[in-house]
Structure 1
Amino acid sequence: MAIVKLSTTERRRLSAFFTCLVLAVLAWVFTTLSNSYNYTVQEVLTFKNAPQKRAFHSLQADTVIATVSGTGWQMVFSKMTPETKPVTVDLHTLESRNFVVLSTQLTQINAKKETNQQIISIDPDTLYFDFSNRLTKKVPVLAMMGLKYQKQFAVSGDIIIRPAYVTVSGPVDRLQKLDNWKTDSITGGHINETINRRVNLQPVKEGNLNVYPKTVQVIIPVDEFTEKTIEIPVKLINNHKYYNVKVFPQKVKVTFTTSLSRYKDMNDDLFEATADLDLWQEHGYSSLPVKLSHFPPYCKVVKVLPANIDFIVKK
């Protein structure tokens, strides 16, 4: 294959030609994208001024197709990074009818958008709603936690939520399925002290529900834990025939973990150990396993010694 050899002057001219060509293409692209175009984007709907005396349910999806007037640059960027700011629809007209015409609200919708990027039309233009009587219900708040504690630290008491209940209003069929309302996740690592935070409730995902209040105070008591050992008597249960039974030993040693703040208060009155005589009468056990039938909350039992006790039955 023949190789074309260019002189220095010819190479300079060829380089200038391609430079001019690239600049011309860039100028054309810039000019073209600077023009105005109408293009479509998908918009998410949110609602405001919901009726207070009527519960409603939207009969269409919560997204619409909006025709937008903007520059070519805006059209390109809308395809690359879709806008996340939702379109807010005013529902005040639902007090007297069951539909909302979006074209009548374009002025207030576009007021929140850039002046050179305005919505021309929305499909569908009319939103229809189904109605039922609005009821209210109080449900408990459920704290969602993703906490990691420092070694030997843990929750040492009941979690306090203020207020403990929130008021939810909406359709009867929806409220019947609602047992609680969750908070946003409470996260943290290497926790070694009590947590006291103002936490947002999870947002309402349905336009026909209202929740009040929107935030709660969550107090999570955290303390350092240590081991303690006490002796407690063993209680014999299911002695239906009232045998004269002696157990050996009569007390067992229970080792458990408890918070430092409650260490001094931990005594044998807070524990109950039992041995079931039915295991001998019905299954022929020669020794009875010891079970802790009651112990304080937020205590973790490490071991019980002995785990089994001997017994003598005098008939």
Structure 2
Amino acid sequence: MGRDVIYKQYQKVQGIVRLWFDQLKQDKNLVVFLIFLVISTGFWFLNALRKEYTATLSYPVKFVDLPENKMLPEDFRGRIEVKVKAVGFVILRYQLSNAFLPLTFSVSEMQSLKTASGEEGVFTITSTEKNKIAGQLSQGMELIDISPDTLFVPLAEKGNARVPVKILADIGFQKQYLQAGEIMVQPDSVTISGPKSIVDTIRFIQTRKIDLQGLSDTVTTNVPLVIPPRVKSSVKKVTATIPVEPFTEINLKIPLRIYGLPDSLRIKTFPSSIQVSFRVGISKYGTIDESHFSAVIDASPVLRSDRPERLKVRLDKAPINIESLSFSPIFVEYLLEKKN
């Protein structure tokens, strides 16, 4: 319904415009008058632009040659106002242009200053820079005055650090596939710079989250870094490689190792070994055997008056490049005997 109302209003306005043009065509005197009015207004405007005017213009300021251990605060935006004399064409060109060059100041040529509040920086008296500023103005401008008379530039301590890249990922695989090792990142560390008070607190740079599901083959992707505010990084993206391969399930029999008994006692467990089950990538099949595992039992609880009926098994050693590791049994029965 709203569309119908808008369309009716559009037709109404269109009809009014057509009626006005029809009347304009019929009244030739009005047409001639409007043409001459436009021409005379144009001549008047061109004549006005040929005259000289005084105007105050605001220029951005660019600072160069900063010390290596210093930087400009993020929120610092230097500007100066210059009072100039120029013909209207030059002033109009400046005011209509959004691409005018900033005025450039060399920090190395400015004088050091520490304010009463403890803020460190450099300053210059703008009147002493009059010739330099005049040389950077648009051609045809005569410099009359500069404001402010003193230009203060605060400088912050700059910090640099090399920090590792941390991958944030949510990865899923098709059936019978798994991640075949650590995610490889290139580069694995980046150089960051910024205010020293911020850089000193950064321990790593994290990536945006990688969300990849249903993988059945190795994937390489570019991942943007999450750079903290006011900090710059040597790179914006890293390359992450997620190794993927089919897996096989392996079952091994691991003997139990017992500790915590005095030499006068011995113990037998039932069973005397456990069964471990795990998944491993095809590329690592055959490289893992019983020697890579260690299953132990702390038998010291049997020396208490309230000795337990069963003892708990603990897997003391296992490879890091396997998945879905489990073992059984978790508890074993035992028989305690005295040695002869």
Q: Same fold (TM over 0.5)?
A: yes
The answer to whether the Cα contact below 8 Å between 1:225 and 1:257 also exists between their aligned partners in 2 is: yes
| Residue-by-residue CA offset, 1:72-126 (whole Å, 9 max, x unaligned) | xxxxxxxxxxxxxxx9x98975845769xxxxxxxxxxxxxxxxxxxxxxxxxxx
1:177 aligns with 2:201: yes
Residue of structure 1 aligned with 2:279, choices 244, 251, 257 = 257
Unaligned runs of 5+ in 2: 1-9, 21-61, 78-98, 111-120, 123-150
Change beyond 3 A, Cα 1:226–1:90: farther
Residue of structure 1 aligned with 2:219, choices 190, 195, 199 = 195
The answer to whether the Cα contact below 8 Å between 1:50 and 1:91 also exists between their aligned partners in 2 is: no
Residue of structure 1 aligned with 2:71, choices 55, 67, 72 = 55
Alignment partners' CA distance in 2, 1:150 and 1:200 = 26
Q: How does 1:122-137 map to 2 (within 5 A)?
A: 130-137=154-161
| Residue-by-residue CA offset, 1:174-205 (whole Å, 9 max, x unaligned) | 12210101123333231111122343323453
Q: Name the structure, 1 or 2, with higher relative contact order (CA <8 Å, separation 6+).
A: 1
1:312 aligns with 2:304: no
The answer to whether the Cα contact below 8 Å between 1:233 and 1:250 also exists between their aligned partners in 2 is: yes
Residue of structure 2 aligned with 1:149, choices 168, 173, 178 = 173
Q: Report the TM-score when normalising by structure 1.
A: 0.59
Alignment partners' CA distance in 1, 2:19 and 2:280 = 75
What is the deviation of 1:59? Answer: 4.4
Alignment partners' CA distance in 1, 2:75 and 2:156 = 13
Q: Which residue of 2 aligns with 1:159?
A: 183
The answer to whether the Cα contact below 8 Å between 2:221 and 2:240 also exists between their aligned partners in 1 is: yes
1:227 aligns with 2:249: yes
Secondary structure in structure 1 of the residue aligned to 2:155: strand
The answer to whether the Cα contact below 8 Å between 1:161 and 1:218 also exists between their aligned partners in 2 is: yes
What is the deviation of 1:239? Answer: 3.2
Q: Report the TM-score when normalising by structure 2.
A: 0.55
Change beyond 3 A, Cα 1:20–1:197: closer
Unaligned runs of 5+ in 1: 1-17, 29-46, 62-86, 100-126
Tell me whether 89-98 or 196-205 shows the greater mean CA deviation.
89-98
What is the deviation of 1:297? Answer: 1.6
1:296 aligns with 2:319: yes
Amino acid at match of 2:237: T
What is the deviation of 1:307? Answer: 2.6
- Structure with bigger gyration radius: 2
Q: Which residue of 2 aligns with 1:217?
A: 239
The RMSD of aligned alpha carbons is 3.8
What is the deviation of 1:294? Answer: 1.8
What is the deviation of 1:21? Answer: 5.3
| Residue-by-residue CA offset, 1:4-31 (whole Å, 9 max, x unaligned) | xxxxxxxxxxxxxx96555337999xxx
Alignment partners' CA distance in 2, 1:50 and 1:160 = 39
Residues matched between the structures, number: 226
